[in-house]
Amino acid sequence: NAGVTQTPKFRILKIGQSMTLQCTQDMNHNYMYWYRQDPGMGLKLIYYSVGAGITDKGEVPNGYNVSRSTTEDFPLRLELAAPSQTSVYFCASSYWKRQGWTNYGYTFGSGTRLTVV
């Protein structure tokens, strides 16, 4: 049982380049999320998805795009990378039971450390 798998683990980008961070989960969770964590800070939500074909913005969506064509995959696209996007990115998934809106907890990937120079 792999849980949430993120690739790559590390990446260095030049300003203006683009890349896609991959995220896959095998727990059949309905919700998936992308967070960024800056040094000494908590987590900030970039985008989330409530199911295949449905995505929505979080707190800090500018400069990013997502798609969710399947339940398992939730890639994050960075267009025109900027130094402000230097961060650690975490993908997560969770199961929300709609009756009573109960969240049974998040499972996180191991993170992608991105540096933009």
Partner 1 sequence: AQSVTQLDSHVSVSEGTPVLLRCNYSSSYSPSLFWYVQHPNKGLQLLLKYTSAATLVKGINGFEAEFKKSETSFHLTKPSAHMSDAAEYFCVVSGGFKTIFGAGTRLFVKA
Q: Smallest gap, in angstroms, from Cβ of residue 79 to partner 1? A: 25
| Smaller CB separation from partner 1, 70 or 103 | 103
| Smaller CB separation from partner 1, 50 or 52 | 50
SS3 16: coil
Residues that bind partner 1 (CB under 8 A): 41-43, 90, 92, 96, 100-111
Residues 6+ apart with CB under 8 A from 87: 36, 37, 38, 114
Q: Which sign does the torsion angle of CA 65, 70, 74, 75 carry?
A: negative
Q: Smallest gap, in angstroms, from Cβ of residue 103 to partner 1? A: 4
| Smaller CB separation from partner 1, 5 or 71 | 5
Q: Smallest gap, in angstroms, from Cβ of residue 112 to partner 1? A: 10
Report how far residue 60's alpha carbon sits from residue 62's, in angstroms, rounded to the nearest whole number.
6
Place of tokens 């998934």: 93
